[in-house]
Structure 1
Amino acid sequence: MSDAVLIAQQGAVRILTNNNPAARNAITAALYTELAAALSAAESDPGVGAIVLTGAGDFFCSGGDLKQLATRRELPVPQRREKIENLHNLIRAIRRCSKPVVAAVEGGAAGAGLSLALCCDMLVSARNALFSAAYVKVGLTPDGGATAFLAEFVSRQILTELCLTGERISGERLHALGAVNRLAEPGAALTDAIALAQQIATGPLRATARIKQLCQHAYGADLEAQMELEATLMAVSQGDDEAAEGIASFFAKRPADFVTLRGKPNGS
């Protein structure tokens, strides 16, 4: 194992840091395996309620290493596709993680770094951070789900402009467009992201995972399909020990204690 990912803990929040500051945290082969492993470890740890993903130093992620990408033309198409799937599998790992993942962006996120930021469940950005789908400037096309994530909150016209011009847009503009949950002062994105994560980190883990599933499903489902999933998950939740604790605490006028339920079989 290298030090591609630094791991820290604050309370019930696990902090995962992309550690390649000399290259503005450009994605490395080691990041694919280490970040996926770190996500899996956080997901299985009952002491973790939420995850923050950030970059070392003053930049979130500059995307793929162009020196490496330049060598891909020497490979046959199936091998190129295999390399791209390393990124896509990492995006899937973040999306499928049952625990909420909050991105903390300083400096900026470009190319695949933009995908990493947008695929997280919530995003905290410094006001002056810059985001770009800059693939077109080097003759490439977006990957990592960038067009899908952007399409969730911008019109087709804006999506096309962002991808065809590769222009950088600020954290403030992304916040106005609805993609950023919290704007932070420069240098404070990680602190603010941890604070946001701490708000949910001691909540009901199983209900939180179901809510994350619902929120992701909502953008590709019609009303009937969404209500069907809501009914299914609500029926399961009503029989969960988390609901018993939450309802009991409401009537007792005390804070709910979901943390003591973690790691115990449901129904115990």
Structure 2
Amino acid sequence: MSTAVLSRQEGAVRILINNNPARRNAITPGLYAELPAALAEAQADAGVRAIVLTGAGDFFCSGGDLNQLAKRRAMAPAQRRERLEGLHDLIRAIRNCSKPVIAAVEGGAAGAGLSIALACDMLVVAQNAFFSVTYVKVGLTPDGGVTAFLSEFVSRQMLTEMCLTGDRITGERLHAMGAVNRLVEKGAALDEAVALAERLATGPARASARIKMLCANAFGADLDTQMELEAQLMVESQGDDEAAEGIGAFLDKRTPDFVALSAAPQAH
């Protein structure tokens, strides 16, 4: 039975909970296996249309367990790399999920915990939460894609300061930087994230997956490459039953019903 990740369903929203509250939800080996599996299960379930990722108790994730990381000094470099890929596979699983993944952050996200939060499509953050790239304080360097994620919305100088000092920044400051979608009162992050997920869950699932692909690709692509991908996905979308429903509903002045289309085979 899963212990590193708890799961529950609220309507069309799957809530996945990093379950290590005694250590402020520090990453465990079990999380490497269970979170990607839970995401894959949610992606395969037609009854799940959006996902919320959070931490048990009052903290999102404090990053890697230093007791475990200390043991890696005795390993060969290849063994260290193998362990590291567990984290990177977890990050890829979040990024590659075709359904919207929203992080609900209470307390804070440090080290690889910040990577996990920023890997999500949207962030709902409590005002009192903090974020930090803490690696330098223990003589380590960042991993989990955190430098790539941060570089999407901060300058090189700010990125360098965050990584070289390991200082905390507040949820309010991260919101001002543009990385936080909703800033809420302490204790309200999960409810607000679920409400946002419920809104996304009523949308066109296949179009939403294509939009996620476009948004993920946009930061690293030049204009012509991005427009080519836009063209490919627009051609697909125009032939999709979701577009027929959406356009028809607009012309008929009614609310579209995209949910029913997800389980039905497409007509061509």
TM-score tier after normalising by the smaller chain length: over 0.9
Give % identity.
Answer: 72
1:244 equivalent in structure 2 = 244
Give, as a single letter, the amino acid of the residue that structure 2 aligns with 1:64. G
Q: Which residue of 1 aligns with 2:8?
A: 8
2:54 counterpart of 1:54 = yes
Whichever residue aligns with residue 73 of structure 2, its letter is R
Structure 1 equivalent of residue 77 of structure 2: 77
Q: 1:199: how far off?
A: 1.1
**Which residue of 2 is the match for residue 188 of structure 1?**
188
SS in 2 for 1:267: coil
Superposed CA deviations along residues 188-232 of structure 1, whole A, max 9, x for unmatched, are 000111111111111111000000000000000011100000000
> What is residue 140 of structure 1 aligned with on the other side?
140
Name the SS of the counterpart of 2:154 in structure 1.
coil
Cα distance, 1:37 vs structure 2: 0.8
Shift of 1:2: 3.4
Measured after TM superposition, the shift of residue 265 of structure 1 is 2.0
Task: Measure the CA separation in 2 of the matches of 1:165 and 1:17.
Answer: 30
What CA deviation, in whole Å up to 9, does each residue of 1:60-110 have, x standing for no partner? 000000000000000000000000000000000000000010000000000
Supply the distance in 1 between the matched residues of 2:267 and 2:14 (Cα, whole angstroms): 27
- Aligned partner of 1:44: which letter? A
The residue aligned with 1:90 is 90
User: Residue type of the partner of 1:209?
Assistant: A
Aligned equivalent of 1:219: 219
Question: In structure 2, the residue corresponding to 1:51 is in which secondary structure?
Answer: strand
Separation in 2, partners of 1:231, 1:48? 28
**Shift of the alpha carbon at 1:264?**
2.0
Find the residue that maps to 2:15 and give its secondary structure: strand
User: In the alignment, what sits opposite 2:264?
Assistant: 264
- Give the aligned partner of residue 208 of structure 2: 208
* Distance in 1 (alpha carbons) for counterparts of 2:28 and 2:202: 33
What CA distance in whole angstroms lies between the structure 2 residues aligned with 1:24 and 1:104? 15
Unaligned regions of 5+ residues in structure 2, if any?
none
The whole-number CA distance in structure 1 between the counterparts of 2:158 and 2:32 is 30
Whole-angstrom distance in 2 between the partners of 1:201 and 1:132:
31
Please give the root-mean-square deviation of Cα atoms over the aligned residues, in Å. Answer: 0.8
Q: In structure 2, what residue type is equivalent to 1:124?
A: V
Q: Which runs of 5+ in 1 are unaligned?
A: none
Instruction: Give the AA of the match of 1:161.
Output: E
Is the alpha carbon distance of 1:42 and 1:2 closer, same or farther for their aligned partners in structure 2, counting shifts above 3 Å? closer
Counterpart amino acid of 2:63? Answer: G
Taking the TM superposition and a 5 Å limit, the aligned residue runs for 1:121-140 are 121-140=121-140
Amino acid at match of 1:11: G
Q: CA deviation at 1:3?
A: 1.2
* Counterparts of 1:39 and 1:267, CA distance in 2: 29
Aligned 1:90-169 pairs, distance under 5 A:
90-169=90-169
Matched residues in 1 for 2:252 and 2:80: separation? 59
Letter in 2 for 1:239: G
Large movers: runs of 4+ above 6 Å = none
In the TM superposition, residue 9 of structure 1 has moved relative to its aligned partner by 1.1
Instruction: State the match for 2:232 in structure 1.
Output: 232
Partner Cα separation in structure 1 for residue 38 and residue 4 of structure 2:
11
For the residue of structure 2 that corresponds to 1:220, the secondary structure is coil
Tell me the distance in 2 between the aligned counterparts of 1:171 and 1:254: 39
AA of the residue aligned to 1:105: V
**Cα deviations by residue, 1:27-78 (Å, 9 ceiling, x for unpaired):** 0111111111110011011111110000000000000000000000000000
Corresponding residue pairs, total? 268
Note the alpha carbon deviations across 1:134-185, whole angstroms, 9 max, x for none. 0000000000000000000000000000000000000000000001000010
Report the TM-score, using the length of structure 1 for normalisation.
0.99
**C-alpha distance in 1, partners of 2:120/2:164?**
24
**Matched residues in 2 for 1:257 and 1:44: separation?**
21
Match of 1:103, SS state, is strand
Q: Residue 24 of structure 1 aligns with which residue? A: 24
